[in-house]
Amino acid sequence: MSFNEYMNLELKLGALKLVRDVLGVKSGESVLIYGDTTNDLRVMEATAEAAYSLGGVPVIIRYETRPRPGLEPPKPLAAALCAADVIIEYATSYILYTKAFWDAVNRANVRYIILTGMDVDMMVRCVSRVDYVKMVQLGERLVELTKNASKFQVTSPAGTDLHVAVDKEMIRLSGNIITKPSSQWATLGGQASFAPVWGSANGTVVFDGCIWPPDEVNVLREPVRLEVKDSRIVKIEGGVQAAMFERWLRSLDDPHMFDLVHISYGFNPGVKNISGRILEDERVFGGVEMGIGSYRGRPAKGHTDGVMLNPSVWLDGKQIENEGKYVEPKLAELSHQLGM
């Protein structure tokens, strides 16, 4: 079997589910698919073929890989973002929260999905073979529970013990279905996020799955321990990777790169292990991911994400997850239906 035939049918099914069921591409809509030189071109081409089969007008843009995420894209791409009806990002050095991103999503009737670094294997596991509707229902339940709570606590066997107040205005199902013609953006299914009330995050965070960026850290061989006071990282401990992470944060010369800005639940049943690709790693089923640096309304020179494994979560003192397994009745039922 040649490389181009590997999982060819499964890839095409995932691309069709993406453009039809998640994005609702309609006849005559312009569909912009963009990525950088680290991306899997087969995924981009399969997505274009699927959009074309639905009557869409697909255009692919590919450009050099930027040194890190969060940098403004090339001017031709920035212009194209403001002209498309549906936008699909595959770029590994994603442009989330840049001016070009906000210029695109603040227009009327645009749907924008961020699938940074997706390859054939990820498409098959995380889209083709997933009951997307059930997965979204699980996310909707997590959003509902979080909106009805004021306090969030997470612990983990590695040593995490963090308490935050929930900002009820900053809760969203980031991995949502966005088929309606209105200004919407989403990421790969299997993630729901919220921001802590600024200044309320206190305790210890231990990442034992991955941290990315920077590239030189990524999959963790040893835990990285962060002490958080009033939503800012005040101390980083661990081994070589912890030192590399702290050095990278300081290299950006921005105190806001030490801000803990969001917390996310991961629940894509296609993600059972850490792979080194952040798009799926932050959706590892039952994991908790935390974002540091730039975020909606909180500018910084960059953004990074860390993942903790096997967490336990309480909302207003009621436990909804125990060491990576959802125990709240509806969450547990949906997990079972998803084969987890």
Residue 176 has pLDDT above 70, yes or no: yes
Q: What is the mean pLDDT of residues 59-82?
A: 95
Is pLDDT larger for residue 247 or for residue 181?
247
| pLDDT confidence of residue 200 | 98
Of 279, 294, 287, the closest CA to residue 308 belongs to 287
Q: How many CB atoms lie within 10 A of CB 260?
A: 26
| pLDDT confidence of residue 181 | 74
Residue 333 has pLDDT above 80, yes or no: yes
Residue 86 has pLDDT above 70, yes or no: yes
Is residue 99 within a helix (H) or strand (E), and if so which, with residue range?
helix 99-105
Q: What is the mean pLDDT of residues 155-161?
A: 98
**What percentage of the chain exceeds 70 in pLDDT?**
99
In this prediction, residue 298 has a pLDDT band, given cuts at 50, 70 and 90, of confident
| pLDDT confidence of residue 254 | 97
Domains, the chain, in order of start with CATH, read 3-128 (3.40.1830.10), 132-337 (no CATH)
**What percentage of the chain exceeds 90 in pLDDT?**
91
In this prediction, residue 297 has a pLDDT band, given cuts at 50, 70 and 90, of confident
> Under DSSP, is residue 73 helix (H, G, I), strand (E, B) or coil?
coil
> Would you call 291 exposed, middle or buried from its count of C-beta atoms within 10 A (0-12, 13-18, 19+)?
buried
**Rounded-to-integer distance, Cα 195 and Cα 327, Å:** 23
The pTM score is 0.90
Q: What is the mean pLDDT of residues 85-109?
A: 93
Contact 206, 225 (CB under 8 A): yes
